[in-house]
Structure 1
């Protein structure tokens, strides 16, 4: 057992890692088990397609087709890697999307057995998908392992995590080889294994507990604060994070770091609210035609200003949603530090027309002024990292 432990768990386990390490590795191992099992059937399908193609072409042409397939995958991998910093913004969403893309690639590989004359285009498409998925897995691996490590043992945690994945992959491959000898239904077997893979991937991603605030986790934290006056714990905030959002999606109710022409219908509306933000390095407004909240960042805006602008945008969005429902969803708090905050929200008026826009934005400024510091304090007490955020603001700035 000591020998096995030296290969599958970090030195000093369990004190050397966070509590979320065990559930993550459990689901990661299961995902690799299903992945290894599927690999047998997809490889079998590819080889079968090549075998049929070989009867219609020279061996040199078949070899070239195989090389082109791998080459297309590498090109796709190289182009996708250009995204760089964006991998940090929606880490969990990207990791899960990558696993879905891996399944899509495996499914396309399986289809080559049905239409072997289309081997090259199908195999190229499948390999591009799988290599892009591999980039997401590699790029998101280190931040995830870093979240588990206690102290300077990230190398040990990474090595043992990859070992567990490889062992599970080998076990899945071995079992799949034994199953394939009985000639099971290819579609049924693949579907079953694919469902197991996707479920394991979802559970794996959901078990990760990160301290940084990206868009999804920041939304959970602010909405909880506005509704209850409390910031969720790291565990609760990560569990409530929506991983089904499309990574880097621009279709969101809050646009952070937007362009001037998107935020304002005409210059007059900007001149009306601009004095409200003289002491801030951002401007928050609402465009009723597009139904979005826009946070424009000034050129001097730093990390904390971006965080405050996003918080302000959520407060204004909460106002608007509450007015649409003709009631406020915020409950009164007993603590004296929230009395002014709740009083401001209770006095909030509806926002049916642009005539009321200035009054409501002014109201939101008062609420943010009295509550942002409280939010930051409570978030820090729960363990959230407030010094560095991953809110992915746009590049546009006001000069």
Structure 2
């Protein structure tokens, strides 16, 4: 029966590729289904998709999912190969194949290696755990570089028998840091990719992909291991080639991620574009420019959620900070140390944190940038920069008061354009500390 001869009752779809249309004959006796799409019939590709990709792909994940996972697969394969080279070197170093080696000595070396790694894991999580969410890309790249360094140390360790245990212990610490940083940032990226509250499914399928890649790496390693067993030159050649592939693939994977929440780096780029071009760029424009390696250029340090005693040191400064200030933060500047400290009011929300950081970024431009090319409030910025340069007070309280007025004027427009451009403002990764304060504006009595 031709579809055009029947009445269309309803349609349905399964994800983006599978579509069904339901028809009824004119005599009302027959319901007919027409199925279309690449996945109308089961195939090997269908099975592969259901096993290794999240349910509902691509609608259930972020738009950068495929490009990120592709490069992540390449880097995992390269890391699997170099990891095999390192394992072979470690086994040789602890005495496998050496008749003079003892089980006790090998066991002690392995215990020390694992023990120092555990201590390193705890210390790193304590010192850096709260920053991993904020700069997931940067920490992901850091973890992969450190992993390659650790593998190199394990490969060369057998060449230095007196220091073998020390080298593998340091390598164990590095790998434990890699485990913490890599695992935490992977969770942050998975949360970004999961668009239907399906983080568990995305994470599980990511694990399946990694397992498949590691299996492929093991099969290749079975071929390579006999070739490199007694050939140190080939070992280093393979390590160099696969390490370069590993780092390149990681760089491409991190660059493929398009985060729509604001951290300090993305906010700085967004605000700079707004000041210089008069518009807020979308996330896909900002993310490729986000730094993922250590920055060495001079920049202002922003301490968000700082204690009051880092913002204020006297009742005079308290009066200056709260004068005509109805915002949910107090901002203090120290020109000598290049630090902006921001104390947050109890109950401050994500919008307040974003506004406070934009206020701090204004001081970054006033202190270290050329504002004459700005398209937004150029005359005001030039006047403020002159005021900052001529100020004798290192805390710049006159400039702080003047910039409050500038923020009041600019922030509503900037916030509206940011939301329209696709930025999420209901949550952020600005790295606020936990201090919260209560204060009353000057001239008001505390309740």
Tell me, yes or no, if the aligned pair for 2:95 and 2:102 is still in contact at 8 Å: no
State the distance in 2 between where 1:36 and 1:243 align.
Answer: 23
Q: Relative to structure 2, which stretch is displaced further, 357-366 or 382-391? A: 357-366
Instruction: Please state if 1:17 is matched with 2:64.
Output: no
Shift in Å, 1:296: 3.5
Alignment of 1:245-256 (within 5 A): 245=294, 252-256=300-304
Normalized per residue, the structure richer in helix is 1
- Once the two structures are superposed, residues 234-260 of structure 1 have per-residue CA deviations (whole angstroms, 9 ceiling, x without a partner) of 2122222111137xxx98433334456
**Aligned-partner SS, 1:150:** coil
Pair 1:388–1:153, CA change in 2 (3 A):
closer
Shift in Å, 1:374: 1.2
Pair 1:269–1:314, CA change in 2 (3 A):
farther
State the distance in 2 between where 1:48 and 1:252 align.
Answer: 49
Q: Match for 1:143 among 188, 192, 195?
A: 188
State the distance in 1 between where 2:108 and 2:256 align.
Answer: 43
Shift in Å, 1:271: 5.4
Pair 1:84–1:348, CA change in 2 (3 A):
closer
Q: Relative to structure 2, which stretch is displaced further, 10-19 or 309-318? A: 10-19
5+ residue gaps, structure 2, are 1-43, 439-447
Larger radius of gyration: 2
Q: Which structure ranks higher in relative contact order (CA pairs < 8 Å, sequence separation ≥ 6)? A: 1
Q: Match for 1:158 among 176, 195, 203?
A: 203
- Once the two structures are superposed, residues 242-291 of structure 1 have per-residue CA deviations (whole angstroms, 9 ceiling, x without a partner) of 11137xxx984333344566557x74872573254532232334322223
Tell me, yes or no, if the aligned pair for 1:98 and 1:137 is still in contact at 8 Å: yes
Tell me the equivalent position of 2:350.
303
- Once the two structures are superposed, residues 152-189 of structure 1 have per-residue CA deviations (whole angstroms, 9 ceiling, x without a partner) of 33332222222222222222333244234333522222
Tell me, yes or no, if the aligned pair for 2:144 and 2:247 is still in contact at 8 Å: yes
Tell me the equivalent position of 1:313.
360
Tell me, yes or no, if the aligned pair for 2:300 and 2:340 is still in contact at 8 Å: no
Tell me the equivalent position of 1:336.
none
Q: Match for 1:169 among 197, 214, 218?
A: 214
**Aligned-partner SS, 1:112:** helix
Tell me the equivalent position of 1:125.
170
How many correspondences in the alignment? Answer: 384
Tell me the equivalent position of 1:90.
135
Alignment of 1:1-399 (within 5 A): 1=44, 2-51=46-95, 55-82=99-126, 83-183=128-228, 185=233, 186-245=235-294, 252-258=300-306, 267=314, 270=317, 273-299=320-346, 301-322=348-369, 325=370, 328-331=372-375, 341-342=377-378, 344-345=380-381, 347-350=383-386, 351-355=388-392, 357-396=396-435
5+ residue gaps, structure 1, are 333-340
Normalized per residue, the structure richer in strand is 2
Pair 1:52–1:146, CA change in 2 (3 A):
closer
CA-atom RMSD, angstroms? 2.8
Tell me, yes or no, if the aligned pair for 2:299 and 2:338 is still in contact at 8 Å: no
Tell me the equivalent position of 1:335.
none
Shift in Å, 1:54: 5.4
Tell me, yes or no, if the aligned pair for 1:256 and 1:296 is still in contact at 8 Å: yes
**Aligned-partner SS, 1:244:** coil
Shift in Å, 1:106: 0.8
Tell me, yes or no, if the aligned pair for 1:211 and 1:234 is still in contact at 8 Å: yes
TM-score, length basis structure 1: 0.86
